[in-house]
Structure 1
Amino acid sequence: PVLPGLAQPYGILVTGVGGTGVITIGQIIAMAAHVEGRACSVLDMSGLAQKGGPVMSHVRVAEDATHIHSTRVGTGMADLVIGCDVIVTAGRDALSRMGEGRTHAAVNSTQMPTAAFVRNPDWQFPTASSEGEIAQACGRDNLSLVDAGRIATALMGDAIATNMFMLGYAWQKGWVPLSEAALLRAIELNALQVDFNKQAFAWGRVAAHDVEFVLNAAGRNGTSAQVIDFKRTPSLDELVERRVAFLTDYQNAAYARSYRDFVEQVRQRESALGEAGRGLKLSRAVANYLFKLMAYKDEYEVARLHSDPAFRAKIAGMFEGDYKLRFHLAPPLLARRDEKGHLRKQAFGSWMMPAFGVLARLRFLRGTAFDPFGYTGERRQERALIGAYRDTLMRLLSQLTPANLEQVIAVARVPEGIRGYGHVKERHLQDAKLKEAALLAQLGQGSSQAPQSPQSPPDGGKQAA
């Protein structure tokens, strides 16, 4: 790459989440400047939340210390932004440092969960808006987005490689005014996982040169890096086919066929509405939420997912050497309860892997009189939810009109609020039933029959679907 000169102080802003090595990147750049005999200042802004909170490192590099009059990168004065987290990079403070036509930005586009999701389970990651704000601040031609988190994790087996990957990416783009030799020497002087960090830096360079090559390499090395088209919404047929394939593996072909047949009934009834039903919004809602209810995660499903070769391949791609697996589970027939009556998880060793394989092959017992787990209150409740959902939708379909279509869609989406497991799921279920009752009252319908609670007597394991 052709590296920029230093006729005036060069401002670099490193942004990211505390605890992931953001401040280390600023220190590496500063040490590299020192190795080259240049002047440098570093100002780390970590606030009260050093781990998990927004962190920014202001780095200024100059030929002479007399040229650096402020340690903070000024408004619109950043020459380079290394964005290790897209949300922090799209924050007001970071955006204010960018200047359109001046700032180059290399940003990690991998989505990382934030505290907002803990407080609000309906929170959506603002990918498009965040990337759009960064592009507007520095100019779209000056912005490079790379799925560094997933790529670095797949290549290196640890997400901590992401930030060093981003430094290598920005350097190869020609946006870091320091030599490769100086940066590598700074990594050595840091004396922490030297070879690991050098490799991450090198992979970032390769990604800036040929991202497709790196994506292919990441795909061979693990299952984390994928090329996903988020822009095109799948058709209803594609959506149903994916769900049918999943449910076939989950239970069997007959179980999956019952799902497909019900969605098709909804589609035909909605299509009969003419222009009002053209978008098939009701059919899509049913395809999503009937699937959610039918694919409830019970003991057989946990066993199937853990015994899947894809899980083993993912673990093998993340770890090397002699490692041990430990599973934290709360088997309803074995687990103890806490003072509130909730099941307590306990640790199980690697011997669970062959046990998972055996249990997964027994999933044909699910919902039958021979299902040992089917007599628990939670499993009876999950099966009853499927039947109640179908019964409610069938009643509403018989009275479906363009005028009440949106209300029926709202009823079909009620299962979206049923989240979690055990007592957490029970709490969300009660809220969902109250919401459903209110919507049905607006439609002039009685509430659907509530599924049996965990305290209800056994139902003999009959499957509602």
Structure 2
Amino acid sequence: IKGVTVLVHDQSCAANLRRLRKRGLVHEPKKRIFINEAVCEGCGDCGVKSNCLSVQPIKTEYGRKTQIDQPSCNKDYSCVEGNCPSFIQVIPSEKDDKRKLPDIGFDSSMLPNPKKIQKDVANIFMLGIGGTGVVTVNQIISTAAFIEDKKVISLDQTGLSQKGGSVVSHLKIVNNDKEYSSRVANGESDAYLVFDLLTGVNPKNMAKLSSKNSTSVISTSEIPTGDMVRSTAEEYPEASFMIDLIKEYSKNNTLLNATELSEHFFGSNMQANFIVIGAAFQSGCIPISSESIEKAIEMNGVAVTQNTNAFNIGRKVVSDPHWIDTIDLYRSGSLASKPILSSEALNLIDSISPDEELRRILEYRTQELIEYQNLAYAKEYMSFVGNIFEKEQKTRSSSELSQNVAKYLFKLMATKDEYEVARLSLKAELDSALSKEFGKSAKVKYMLHPPFLKAMENIPILNMLPGVKSKLALGSWFKIFYVMLKNMKFLRGTIFDFMAWFSNDVRQADQKALDHYKSVIMKNIDEIGNGKYQDLKDFSVLPDIIRGYEEVRLETMTEFYQKSDNLFKS
């Protein structure tokens, strides 16, 4: 093509769009999107379709799932295009009937004043990601220093912060008239404030640390990158390793999960950085009074009460480390609850005399299988797990293989067909999560793309019907059909399973994967004392690869069989 080609990206920067909405300069859509994590497979298809960092992977009892970080969502709704029935459209309640945010529960005036560093220059180095307020925090600490007539030198390196990239802020609080560089030099940081772990372990940033004078205040929250959002193959690095790495090069360390605390007390993660600042202050590495910091927060004029409380929560965590143990932290969108077991489920679990961890895993899954199909189906599961556990105990003191089998055999047996999606969509935990997040009067619509409608895509005239080429938004009245489907689970696997008529290839593939998994394990279980134990453990977790719905799911099965063949030739 001759001449100049211009590519115009016509979508607003999400971070800037949120700022404009906060200022009332751009319309704020009412509609929100919520993911039912019980139905979610954590396949990452919504991340691929939306390329959005607000579609975040999370770790749950049942493996990787996806949730939408509501405060950072730019509401373009492209994630709904993901091939998955877990999406729920919500119009939040206009009544005051959401989850009541808890009071901080202590008198901040009673917090002890820390012993602060006394130096001509206090070097504070802050590390985070764009859109989370790192620069704002730097400005507030600078303002607090100005209030005390102290000299301040600061520098913000924002890079690609608008894309969720790294942000690094240098801040020097000076107590003399000398001139200093705006950058914190290598080995000179007094306060190393880690708002984001991945940024914190960047070797270039860690060069600022010194085992002689650095106090590291680390938020242990796991904030995913874009690659982690889009691909299940990209996992968050081991957090404990990264934390230990920072601790190794620091003199003192303070750890806290600032994001969890922020979500619990404020309903979003936007106050997390102020919690870290509070912890840093109480650790003595910010040589300014708490009164000046609170005054600077007030002068900033944004979320004054929340940010002040967040600052004091960070102080409380350091001054009273056991305080956090008294809090049952709430995670937005979580459907987690302790399993309620029937006597039948308890008897099944007791029948194999599992150790403590295996029992815990089985407690979360046995009752689910009874409700998924029936007691006989759960017995089949327990019989297989019990057999593996018995053979493992003959050669091993641990139950690692049995634990893996308990998790992933369940995953293959409890595949999310239409009957199971209906059951999971009717769970009381889902209604509770929606009410807490959006209010009891919130209006809900289920975003579904039924296979029987998708099958009409290439049929003239019929392909013009709603729901053929895109998802339908079905109101709360659709629960009636969910109840009907849930109660038709006895049709599953029979010739009368009418839901399988339009997705038989997926049903057959799921059954084949289950048969393959059980077959390989049974063929090799008697060889675990002859060097096959590690290979079998590696194989036992392979079903984690199988994720998603329909064509997305079938694609993942190819990788499952490839890796299986690498370990055990069929």
Q: Into which bin does the TM-score normalised by the smaller protein fall? A: 0.7 to 0.9
1:297 maps to a residue whose letter is K
Greater Cα shift, 128-137 or 113-122: 113-122
CA distance in 1, matches of 2:434, 2:232: 30
If asked which structure has higher relative contact order (CA below 8 Å, sep 6+), I would say: 2
* Corresponding residue SS for 2:149: coil
Give the superposition deviation at 1:146.
0.7
| Count of residue pairs the alignment pairs up | 429
* Corresponding residue SS for 1:219: coil
Give the superposition deviation at 1:301.
3.5
CA distance in 2, matches of 1:193, 1:336: 50
Counterpart check, 1:286 vs 2:411: no
Match of 2:320 among 205, 210, 220: 210
Give the superposition deviation at 1:216.
3.8
Q: Contact 1:151–1:225 (CA<8 Å) still a contact in 2?
A: no
CA distance in 2, matches of 1:407, 1:51: 41
CA distance in 2, matches of 1:120, 1:222: 22
Give the superposition deviation at 1:160.
1.4
Quote the residue 1:456 is aligned against: none
Counterpart check, 1:425 vs 2:553: yes
Quote the residue 2:261 is aligned against: 151
Quote the residue 2:303 is aligned against: 193
CA distance in 2, matches of 1:174, 1:115: 35
Q: Contact 2:335–2:429 (CA<8 Å) still a contact in 1?
A: no
CA distance in 1, matches of 2:379, 2:285: 55
2:174 maps to a residue whose letter is A
Quote the residue 1:130 is aligned against: 242
Quote the residue 1:266 is aligned against: 388
CA distance in 1, matches of 2:441, 2:398: 53
Aligned identity (percent) is 26
CA distance in 2, matches of 1:125, 1:177: 34
CA distance in 1, matches of 2:199, 2:433: 29
Query: Which structure 2 residues correspond to residues 250-329 of structure 1 after superposition, within 5 A?
Result: 250-271=372-393, 274-275=394-395, 277-319=396-438, 323-329=442-448
Quote the residue 1:365 is aligned against: 490
> In structure 2, do the counterparts of structure 1 residues 161 and 291 end up closer, same or farther at CA, with 3 Å as the change threshold?
same
CA distance in 2, matches of 1:261, 1:252: 15
> In structure 2, do the counterparts of structure 1 residues 73 and 352 end up closer, same or farther at CA, with 3 Å as the change threshold?
farther
Give the superposition deviation at 1:421.
2.6
Greater Cα shift, 341-350 or 367-376: 341-350
Unpaired segments ≥5 residues, structure 1: 227-232, 442-446, 448-465
Match of 1:389 among 500, 507, 517: 517
CA deviations 1:394-414 (Å, max 9, x no partner) are 344577761444444444443
> In structure 2, do the counterparts of structure 1 residues 225 and 382 end up closer, same or farther at CA, with 3 Å as the change threshold?
closer
Quote the residue 1:61 is aligned against: 173
> In structure 2, do the counterparts of structure 1 residues 359 and 383 end up closer, same or farther at CA, with 3 Å as the change threshold?
farther
Give the superposition deviation at 1:55.
1.4
CA deviations 1:146-175 (Å, max 9, x no partner) are 111112112111111211121122223333
CA distance in 2, matches of 1:119, 1:220: 27
Quote the residue 1:73 is aligned against: 184
CA distance in 2, matches of 1:197, 1:338: 52
2:549 maps to a residue whose letter is Y
Give the superposition deviation at 1:112.
1.8
Counterpart check, 1:101 vs 2:229: no
1:365 maps to a residue whose letter is F
CA distance in 1, matches of 2:420, 2:186: 53
- CA-based RMSD: 3.5
Counterpart check, 1:113 vs 2:224: yes
CA deviations 1:64-108 (Å, max 9, x no partner) are 5x3341111111211112211122112212221121131112211
CA deviations 1:170-225 (Å, max 9, x no partner) are 22333322222322222233232333322322332333333544454453797869
* TM-score with structure 1 setting the length: 0.80
CA distance in 2, matches of 1:336, 1:133: 53
Give the superposition deviation at 1:305.
3.6
CA distance in 2, matches of 1:197, 1:372: 55
> In structure 2, do the counterparts of structure 1 residues 79 and 327 end up closer, same or farther at CA, with 3 Å as the change threshold?
farther
Q: Contact 1:83–1:107 (CA<8 Å) still a contact in 2?
A: yes
CA distance in 2, matches of 1:41, 1:336: 64
Quote the residue 2:134 is aligned against: 22
CA distance in 1, matches of 2:565, 2:454: 35
Quote the residue 1:229 is aligned against: none
